[in-house]
A and B are shown apart, each in its own frame.
Chain A
Amino acid sequence: MRIACPFCGSRDLREFSFLGDAGAAGAGLPGAGPGAGPGAGAEAGADAGPGAGPDADAGARAEAVYLRDNPAGRHRGLWYHEAGCRSWLAVTRDTRTHAIFAVELAREGAR
């Protein structure tokens, strides 16, 4: 599998490490909601998801922290270009075929 890094271009899989579901990044942190990218929680503010804050329902909070969808198909995940430009990328791919539909910097201006 090769990933087309927005900065570096097409690169081999060995340069990247996989973090997990992009939509779950920061789950359980105050202010983090579904779909929030890394570090975006603070800006998301009022857009609090099920994992938001200490007052959130414990069951919903545990679910947000620990439970992940495991789709056979389209999935948006976070990848770190560790051996390259060290950017966090959000990669949308098909988990069955590894076909990649989209690659973007996880946050505009991220390094």
Chain B
Amino acid sequence: MPEAASMPGTSRPGTSRPGTPSPGAAAEASLRPVPAFGGLAASSPDGRLVVREREGLGLATVTARRGRGGDLAEVLRASRGLVLRPGPTVSRAGDLALVGTGPETWFAVGAGGGWRFSRALAATLAGLAAVADQSSGYGVLRLSGPAVRAVLAKGVPVDLHPSAFAAGDAAVTLAGHVGIVLWRAEDRADGEEAFDVAVFRSYAESFRHWLFASAAEFGLADGPAPGPGTAGAVSRPA
């Protein structure tokens, strides 16, 4: 990411619209990805809540064509080794996760690739599903730590107790008035629970505000988050 801080007031570079495009470049022309939460990374002082944006993900919605849900599951199993679980749950295989968001509908998350992720998935599922790129449409935050459920409970009207929302469970619901896709991520290495939250990009600031207000009692403070891997990141989107 360019050092935006060192170039105040300048327009954003890297939008791949050079004055003299080289032949063949047009097919791959795309905007420079900008993380929806500005690369947000923050932690309460005692580490009871850790917030980190998952950047560079490939995101897509997948809706099975009528009557092709079974074939879709079979193709995913054969080509990606992914066993599709029914209902509001997460199915994972390697870097690919499919979050059940509705009947025959999923939110697909790839560890990388941006918009290219959906193109590859659409090719895999040709004729079986409608695949729509969402890579620049959503921001995804990873929330983890012993306080994470207490914080989410302030605005999410779903029972998140482990007995009701177990590892691998998912929900499309609300946080405050903001629509979210929420799912249990793999537990942290120290065994603490982790959740991923996908929010429409245009709601990123509203969600961030709600999150920090809800986590204030745990000392989650606004401001730049120093630390390895977060250099240049800002907590507040400009």
A residues engaging B (CB < 8 A)?
A: 7-12, 14-15, 83-87, 105, 109-111
A72 CA to B159 CA, complexed, in Å: 32
With A8-B88, A14-B157 known as contacts, the answer to whether A84 contacts B103 (CB < 8 A) is no
Asked whether A86 lies within 8 Å of B102 as measured between CB atoms, the reply is: yes
Interfacial chain B residues near A111, Cβ < 8 Å: 63, 102-105
Asked whether A84 lies within 8 Å of B87 as measured between CB atoms, the reply is: no
A86 CA to B158 CA, complexed, in Å: 16
Asked whether A7 lies within 8 Å of B173 as measured between CB atoms, the reply is: no
B residues engaging A (CB < 8 A)?
A: 63, 66-67, 87-88, 101-105, 157-159, 171-174, 179
Asked whether B104 lies within 8 Å of A84 as measured between CB atoms, the reply is: no
What is the minimal beta-carbon distance from A1 to any residue of chain B, in angstroms? 12
Interfacial chain B residues near A10, Cβ < 8 Å: 159
A15 CA to B155 CA, complexed, in Å: 13
Asked whether B174 lies within 8 Å of A85 as measured between CB atoms, the reply is: no
With A7-B88, A83-B179 known as contacts, the answer to whether A14 contacts B102 (CB < 8 A) is no
What is the minimal beta-carbon distance from B71 to any residue of chain A, in angstroms? 15
A77 CA to B94 CA, complexed, in Å: 43
A83 CA to B156 CA, complexed, in Å: 11
A11 CA to B157 CA, complexed, in Å: 7
With A109-B66, A111-B63 known as contacts, the answer to whether A15 contacts B174 (CB < 8 A) is yes
**Taking CB as reference atom, which chain A residue is nearest B172?**
A84
Asked whether B103 lies within 8 Å of A83 as measured between CB atoms, the reply is: no
Interfacial chain A residues near B158, Cβ < 8 Å: 11-12
What is the minimal beta-carbon distance from A6 to any residue of chain B, in angstroms? 8
**Taking CB as reference atom, which chain A residue is nearest B180?**
A83
What is the minimal beta-carbon distance from A9 to any residue of chain B, in angstroms? 7
A7 CA to B158 CA, complexed, in Å: 14
Interfacial chain A residues near B103, Cβ < 8 Å: 7, 85, 87, 105, 109-111
A86 CA to B102 CA, complexed, in Å: 7
A7 CA to B103 CA, complexed, in Å: 7
What is the minimal beta-carbon distance from A93 to any residue of chain B, in angstroms? 19
**Taking CB as reference atom, which chain B residue is nearest A10?**
B159
A9 CA to B104 CA, complexed, in Å: 16
What is the minimal beta-carbon distance from B84 to any residue of chain A, in angstroms? 15
